[in-house]
Homo-oligomer: A and B are copies of this chain.
Amino acid sequence: MKTVVVRNIKRADADVVKRLGALGTSTVHEAYGRSGLMKPYLRPAWVGGEAAGTAVTVLAQPGYNWMIHVAVEQCKPGDILVVGCTTDNTDGMFGDLLATSLMARGVTGLILDAGCRDVKSLREMGFPVWSRAISAKGTVKSTLGAVNIPVVCAGVNVEPGDAVVADDDGVVVVRRKQASEVAAKGEKRFAEEDSKRQQLASGVLGLDIYKMREPLAKAGLIYLDDPEAD
């Protein structure tokens, strides 16, 4: 592991990231060809938080948060911090002090493949965190990692500057260069879903909206009546 900090990374366009955030993770994930979704063990520290931003990445050692402090200085307004860890770990690497510092710099949230703590304060401050665990176990500041190198976080390889969207459904990462195309696709999908929602609410079946009856029959689906029923 190179113990390096990369400065002045190229970031996904801020407006595009905002548009992705408005779509939410499920729509973005669909629009992105079902790529980029982190594993579902990553959960919001508090229900209802939402964030979108450009990734500043951290590779940390378990039990150490030195590199998160280093990364804070590299963050700009609209960034989201993404922290991978060299070993599976649930220690509380992040709490309300670091959140205060990130909020002061305009960071929109934290994605952390380890534990966080002070969740009551985080909820009250409105700083959204997605983590693998909640744990009061603190960390020390004395082992190097790296900032703004590619990092595997919850099963996804995140590049610095990628667009990240997170909500109650999970966390999705979109490559910087594809963000604009994915936002456009997602918005189209979103519009279509709204019209479907109205049809479904009025009682029209998905079987008919999606024209499934014929392919189902072709695939061999058989309907029977329950012999036990009257």
Q: B-facing mask of A13-57, CB < 8 A → 1, else 0?
A: 000000000001110111001110101100100111000000000
- A62 contact set on B, CB distance < 8 A: 62-63, 87, 89
Copies of this protein chain in the complex: 6
Closest approach, in angstroms, between the C-beta of A54 and any C-beta of chain B? 12
Interface pair B157/A29, CB less than 8 Å apart:
no
Which single member of B101, B138, B155 contacts A200 (CB below 8 Å)?
B101
User: Which 10 interchain pairs have the tightest Cβ spacing?
Assistant: A136-B169, A25-B136, A101-B200, A40-B135, A69-B206, A157-B157, A26-B136, A100-B200, A136-B170, A9-B226
22 CB < 8 A contacts A-B: A2-B222, A6-B226, A10-B228, A25-B117, A26-B95, A34-B86, A39-B88, A43-B134, A48-B120, A62-B62, A62-B87, A62-B89, A63-B87, A70-B221, A87-B90, A96-B197, A98-B200, A101-B205, A117-B170, A118-B169, A136-B170, A157-B157
A interface residues with partner B (beta carbon < 8 Å): 1-10, 24-26, 28-30, 33-35, 37, 39-40, 43, 46-48, 61-63, 66, 69-70, 72-73, 86-92, 95-98, 100-101, 103-105, 115, 117-120, 133-138, 141-142, 144, 148, 150, 152, 155-157, 160, 167-170, 172, 193, 196-197, 200-203, 205-207, 210, 212, 215-216, 219-226, 228-230
